[in-house]
Structure 1
Amino acid sequence: MTNQPEVQMKKELGLLDGTMLVVGSMIGSGIFIVSADIVRYVGSAGWLLIIWLLTGLVTLTAALSYGELSAMFPNAGGQYVYLREAYNRLVAFLYGWALFAVIQTGTIAAVGVAFAKFAAYLFPVVSDEHILWQQGVFQLNAAQLLAIAVIVVLTWFNTRGVKNGKILQTVFTIVKILSLGGLTVLGLVTAFHTEVWNLNWTDAWTPKSWSAQEHAFIPIGGAALFAALVSAMVGSLFSSDAWNNVTFIAGEIRKPERNIGLSLFLGTLIVTLIYVSTNVMYLATTTIHDIAFAPADRVAVVASQTIFGDIGAKIIAIMIMVSTFGCDNGLILSGARVYYTMANDGLFFKRAGMLNSFKVPSWGLWAQCIWASALCLTGKYGDLLNYIIFVVLIFYALTIIGIFILRKKRPDIPRPYKAFGYPVLPILYVLAALTICIGLLIYQPTFTWPGLLIVLIGVPIYYCFGKKIA
């Protein structure tokens, strides 16, 4: 099927590199801010932790299931390849199209702008309030330029070989793990506030949603509770996404049939533990009300000011800059490998399927860079990401259903690793993902129909232009 043999890629990555890619791609800026939105939906300490635990369990279950697929198809492209083999080229293309159109590039743009916005804490000149040029409704600000500069620099760095990208990824991921761990420990040891903790755990298991009309948290149950849980999980699921990026670079991982599955498990487990413990720290230092209404949702800043005083905001700004820089590197490194495989299937621009002298798909990297930079300029990447969460879950569910299909369709393929807890855990994941999707369709339609439209636009592109662009 491919025009270029997979062996041309250098197998430079081991288990540590794969694990650090999973962790580094997952942890961006979400853990520092989305707990505020979650609390406004569920209104209590117990339910805040339940949301993060549910998200972690769902993600871990998916990662354990993906281990079987990664062992069966240890090739560049990952999830795209799994969908192609389980279903057909159209389904795989629609995933690749959505990835390039918004999932990967939109996330790269959003993470880059988050880097720039927090850099403005230290260097106000790069603030998004610093307008450099305006023409009609379009505004170009300093934060957008800094975000684009970060994307360009990281793209160039990754065109110089996968070894460069992996070193940068591993270093920045270790730093962010240590910094988040240090913040959590310091918060629990030096800033633990008994009165705040006891207050947060008073009536902690009664779910409540904030009512703007009542200016108070109102107890909820039944359908209202289901709607709140689904809505609250949008933020935590986005904060836990991109764990599958390690499958995209399978062609450059040593012993991929073993190391990808282990990287998925270890990486998602580490992130789940970090996210839950960080939220425990928030509850030990900050009241539920202050979490819900932290300025600009920056919960970590409020907690850090309790721990470090006035300098806390700058400490968090530095942490988020490190976190987002490493996150963008992981997203940039991995995304182009999907376009590489699509190109060799005749479903993307032919040049994206070529490797440069460093044995990396540099054309795909630069194409990704250009589109992500364009999304930075639109200022609409946040909306696009909200639209796509529904689609991301659908593709995850389809991929895991693919395990069942491939066991019937391709029983002859060696399976060095089989999905943990099969068939129970994969079925539970599919049910959980579809339940969340149904909830989003009913209660958050603005998060669903636009995302579906973006994917469906790929259908005429596939039939009308698929062969032409190749």
Structure 2
Amino acid sequence: MKQQNHLKRSLGFFSAISIVIGTIIGSGIFFKQASVLQSAHNSTLAISAWIFGGVITLAAGLTIAEIGAQMPYTGGLYVYIEKLYGRILGFLAGWMQVIVYGPAIIAAVGGFTGILIANFFNLNDSWRIPLSIGCMLFITIINFLDNKVGAAFSVITTIGKMIPIAAIIIFGIFWGQNNALGQTISDVKQSSGGFGVAVLATLFAYDGWILIANLGGEMKNPQKVLPQAIILGITIVLTIYTLITVGILRFIPADLIERLGEDTTTYLATKAFGNIGGKLLTLGIIISMLGTLNGKIITFPRIVYAMAKRNDLPFSSYLTYLTPKGKSPIVATIFITVLATLMLVLFDPDRLSDLCVFTIYCFYILAFFGIFKLRRENSNRPFSTPLYPLVPIVAILGGLFIVVSELFNDPAGVVLFLGIVAVGLPIFYYLKRKEKTSRNKAIEINENHD
């Protein structure tokens, strides 16, 4: 399978920012309103949690933008951690994203999309998993084509998702009868957590901002485009999320949101715009989530590709295969989709997604500390994080806040996920030993031949 393995640099600023916004805005903002409110216990703290989650994400984005501008390669966090801390931690960062984080997030978004499509056509629950798998396969096939096709789909769905978002914001804020602030839910569950858990729930909705870094090797002028896309994209999403939350709380009382759970946004759409209008709004949300699914499926295979290029995964020679014309990592894309499908069928993707936020923030914090290391080593920077060192410190403290909150909220889940990450170590040593053995055999053959 010999070929010129080079990804094509064809993504510009608008494609990049569409991927950032399209990847972030998906199921979280529509499905996490009730869980954030349950943990926060009142509407003021719920709105604060969405803002706080956005500020943490923006500080993280500004910090990573400086690091990413100095390392504009395919692989994102996997590459950053390796260059900052060495091969073993770099491998674990990639392993975590490839085996757990990426497939679980894709499964979660695919699962939520399947639920909405089943509700849209009034189908029973038995259709949820087939529809979810169908959505993932559809997006996977799109990404078999030239990377411009996937990027164009991101642009279209990003524009399309703004229609239901604008409708919810405008109708909720201007026609809602409630005060968005000061509402308290009467039925507080003992296991609902606190403000830290509420922020953690918002971070699933903000998830995806760093995935654009996985496409660094496919961008035109990545040193300039990558920081711009990350910063502007996160700022836009933070504003949208705050306005959507205020709009929903203005239109639906906090107690009712808590009871409706994942059906909150569908209820608002139907009540505000009637059955037909509600259906159209739900269709817009489905398009939004397909765009998010596309963002995940277009980016995670690039981590697989980057790791396979280094022989860091089994069957690496196959996983590095690129289509001759479009230069798309087709085998890596199939690999991620298969893992996501297995997770969707066998596990609860919702809980997996929450724990994935904890797991990836462990590696985010390592990357945030890396900015201080790079500042000491390199004075030439294509992009400098503003308000340094305050912004990186906010990112680190925010990340520690999330990690500690989840440790107290779900210690068993934390141990499980850290265990899955640790399993990568023996695999890493096995692959390296196998690579060393093959190299020694090749040397021996050459010596005998001579």
TM-score higher than 0.5 here?
A: yes
Q: Aligned equivalents of 1:438 and 1:103: distance in 2?
A: 19
Q: Is the 8 A contact 1:67 1:264 kept in 2?
A: yes
Q: Aligned equivalents of 1:365 and 1:293: distance in 2?
A: 38
Please name the residue that 2:78 is paired with.
Answer: 80
Distance 1:463 1:209, change over 3 A: farther
Distance 1:209 1:20, change over 3 A: farther
Q: Is the 8 A contact 1:42 1:208 kept in 2?
A: no
- Deviation sequence 1:72-127 (CA, Å, 0-9, x none): 011111111111100011111111111111211111111112111111122234x4
Q: Aligned equivalents of 1:210 and 1:289: distance in 2?
A: 8
State whether structure 2 residue 290 is matched by structure 1 residue 305.
no
Q: Aligned equivalents of 1:382 and 1:9: distance in 2?
A: 33
Q: How does 1:424-439 map to 2 (within 5 A)?
A: 424-439=390-405
State whether structure 2 residue 431 is matched by structure 1 residue 454.
no
1:157 corresponds to which letter in structure 2? I
Identity, % of aligned pairs?
A: 28
Please name the residue that 2:19 is paired with.
Answer: 21
From 188, 196, 202, the counterpart of 1:230: 196
Cα deviation for residue 59 of structure 1 reads 0.5
Q: Is the 8 A contact 1:188 1:284 kept in 2?
A: yes
State whether structure 2 residue 187 is matched by structure 1 residue 243.
no
Q: Is the 8 A contact 1:231 1:444 kept in 2?
A: no
Cα deviation for residue 184 of structure 1 reads 1.2
Please name the residue that 1:317 is paired with.
Answer: 282
Please name the residue that 1:155 is paired with.
Answer: 140
Q: Is the 8 A contact 1:375 1:381 kept in 2?
A: yes
Q: Is the 8 A contact 2:41 2:188 kept in 1?
A: no
Cα deviation for residue 250 of structure 1 reads 0.7
2:356 corresponds to which letter in structure 1? I
- Deviation sequence 1:364-393 (CA, Å, 0-9, x none): 111111111122221432232232221111
Q: Aligned equivalents of 2:209 and 2:429: distance in 1?
A: 31
Q: Aligned equivalents of 2:19 and 2:281: distance in 1?
A: 22
Please name the residue that 1:397 is paired with.
Answer: 365
From 151, 156, 162, the counterpart of 1:177: 162
Distance 1:270 1:150, change over 3 A: same
Alignment: residue pair count = 432
State whether structure 2 residue 256 is matched by structure 1 residue 258.
no
Please name the residue that 1:134 is paired with.
Answer: none
Q: Secondary structure at the match of 2:367?
A: helix
Q: How does 1:206-217 map to 2 (within 5 A)?
A: 210-212=187-189
Cα deviation for residue 153 of structure 1 reads 2.0
Cα deviation for residue 421 of structure 1 reads 1.8
From 346, 352, 363, the counterpart of 2:319: 352
Please name the residue that 1:188 is paired with.
Answer: 173
Q: Is the 8 A contact 1:29 1:111 kept in 2?
A: yes
Q: Aligned equivalents of 1:443 and 1:332: distance in 2?
A: 30
Distance 1:231 1:346, change over 3 A: same
- Which segment drifts farther, 428-437 or 51-60? 428-437
Distance 1:209 1:68, change over 3 A: farther
Distance 1:208 1:148, change over 3 A: closer
Distance 1:113 1:467, change over 3 A: farther
Q: Is the 8 A contact 1:43 1:288 kept in 2?
A: no
From 153, 157, 163, the counterpart of 1:168: 153
Q: Is the 8 A contact 1:22 1:243 kept in 2?
A: yes
1:192 corresponds to which letter in structure 2? G
2:201 corresponds to which letter in structure 1? G
State whether structure 2 residue 304 is matched by structure 1 residue 327.
no
Structure 2 unaligned blocks of 5 or more: 439-450
Q: Aligned equivalents of 2:115 and 2:331: distance in 1?
A: 29
- Deviation sequence 1:53-81 (CA, Å, 0-9, x none): 00010001111111111110111111111
Cα deviation for residue 260 of structure 1 reads 0.5
Cα deviation for residue 447 of structure 1 reads 4.0
Q: Aligned equivalents of 1:462 and 1:315: distance in 2?
A: 49
Q: How does 1:67-106 map to 2 (within 5 A)?
A: 67-106=65-104
Please name the residue that 1:268 is paired with.
Answer: 234
Please name the residue that 1:217 is paired with.
Answer: none
Cα deviation for residue 304 of structure 1 reads 2.1
- Deviation sequence 1:301-321 (CA, Å, 0-9, x none): 232233113446524431331
Q: Aligned equivalents of 2:386 and 2:3: distance in 1?
A: 33
Q: Aligned equivalents of 2:278 and 2:434: distance in 1?
A: 51
From 362, 369, 377, the counterpart of 2:330: 362
Cα deviation for residue 467 of structure 1 reads 5.6
Please name the residue that 1:66 is paired with.
Answer: 64
Q: Is the 8 A contact 2:66 2:384 kept in 1?
A: yes
Q: Aligned equivalents of 2:135 and 2:60: distance in 1?
A: 31
Q: What is the TM-score when the length of structure 2 is the normalising length?
A: 0.90
- Deviation sequence 1:329-364 (CA, Å, 0-9, x none): 110001111111111122122222232211121111
Q: Is the 8 A contact 1:117 1:143 kept in 2?
A: yes
